[in-house]
Structure 1
Amino acid sequence: MDRKQFGKLIAKLRKESGYDSQRKFATVTGVSNASIAKIENGTQKARPDTLKAFSKHLTDITYADLMEMSGYLEGSIKQEKHDKYSKYEFISMIEELTIDLIKKMSKDDKFLPFVEAKLKELEEVGGNRDVVKNASSFIKFFENQNLNIQINLYSNIQQIYTLPEVKNEIDYYNTQDSSTEIVTDEEVNERIYKIVMHYNNTISENESNYEIVKPELIGNHHAFALSVLDNSMQGIGLFNGDVVICKKEDELRSYIYDTKICSIILPNGDEVIRKIQFINEEILLIPFHPDFNTEIFYKDDISITGEVVQIIRTLNQ
């Protein structure tokens, strides 16, 4: 995390911890208002003693977290998927991508007409015209929201950006102004991510309930994330503790799921990951571990909830 990103993180944590101004935060931490401003602007690196003072008044983060994020602890665990570092890196990415999309859908700080109309319809905006009067106002509104609302806004803005009407407006204004950057579909795919929520409740309170995936993996289909709870698919590289991203078809057709790795709800309510094979009216559920047996069910007795399209693994040191 570079100094500018770290400064944005400190500003966000400060506000979420109830200090709406740098002056109030300076009063409780004993750090000068000028130093806090420079740290949040990314022009000054915070000293360890400053970080310690901050940590005593910031919620949901420790002194060690701040030391690691600011680059003082090089040897710390950095691969843990659901730690606070990943959470705040995700926040930074969401803000960057959303602001980038907002700028692409505006010209001279004014939203394109169709874009403005769609933004006013968003539940989070609540029809507030002041929020969408220009791009700068919307960015300020976005930055002041909590993470859950930011995720919802990003997901909705990403959907608006991909609408054919918006693409046509952007193309039109690009042709009218040679100085406007032309955005290719390839560049869009590299920057835009889908937000995928966890389907079950197997994650702990300290873990994130979302995953981020590239849109080409799921297209326009519904998708969900699922925690793997055993080693029944170990033979294909799927282990207990992994997370799978599953793509759900609109309707069950055997030729879609046949011979694929899928998530299935059994008659007893358990959800498992298996390779499936259709045989007339029956379905074979095939594991890849010698301690687990192939099972046969009538297709009406089980529910195939989706096809596994990605595996996400947490690395621990």
Structure 2
Amino acid sequence: MSRQWQTSRFLLDLQRPLVMGIVNVTPDSFSDGGHHATVPQALRHAEKLVAEGAHILDIGGESTRPGSPAVALDEELRRVLPVVREAVNLGVPVSVDTYKSDVMQAVLDLGADIINDIWALRQPGAEQVVAAHPRCGICIMHMHGTPQDMQVSPMQGDAVPQVQDFLRERSDALQARGVERTRIVWDYGIGFGKTVAQNFALLARQRELLGLDFPLLAGWSRKGSLGHVSGRAQGERMVPSVAAALLAVERGARVVRVHDVADTVAALSIWHAMRENDGHAATTEKTTK
């Protein structure tokens, strides 16, 4: 697997998992809608996430919760551009969660580093925009259906090979346009048109998605499947979210997209300490034999 992620301004080292902090500039996000809807609120939140240890900021101006309505282009630009303009000065890569090519173009012109697209660059003009920016990072996600209908008719059968085939096809299409593979990260799309069982199958068998050597981003934070198995309401899913992030990292994810940055960073510090001790113990054992 590639251990680096090329982005507009940063070549990210993926030897250690990275934490992507979520900044929703929306009034209706499924988790924190309205909390950071104004530009000052969003920027304060972004600064807080960086202080807590976020390696990447992910800024979004349109909710993609099940059943959410599409947002007009002008409104998304109004929400996102002022935040991106300031966030690029915070010293970490800035990702923008959008599927609209005009938004992609505008944020890349402002210095954004990564395009994070739930549609995997299938909307008109999206492939052309990222191909014309030869260094921006790209996260492509698997989604069954659309945000408006994805949970009405979720996908059928074994999700793992279907997700893998889709992401491989999209990666092949991007590389055919000249996009270097070091720019591409995969997101298997937890909650996007999948049943609870399929979501957990993707986590349990996540290593099967690593076979084509693209780094994985895992986006489990506060998702409905965690509430389903834990019995926790939306605002009470920090512990299940951190547990899912750690399990995803243990199974090879190199980026975790989270709301609870400080708690995730703290949990990963324990995971790192354990891993370092495992390595030391293995080296000592080998030396003494």
| TM-score calculated relative to the size of structure 1 | 0.22
Task: Decide which structure has the larger Cα Rg and report it.
Answer: 1
The answer to which structure has the higher helix fraction is 2
Higher normalized contact order (CA 8 Å, seq sep 6+, divided by chain length): 2
| TM-score calculated relative to the size of structure 2 | 0.24
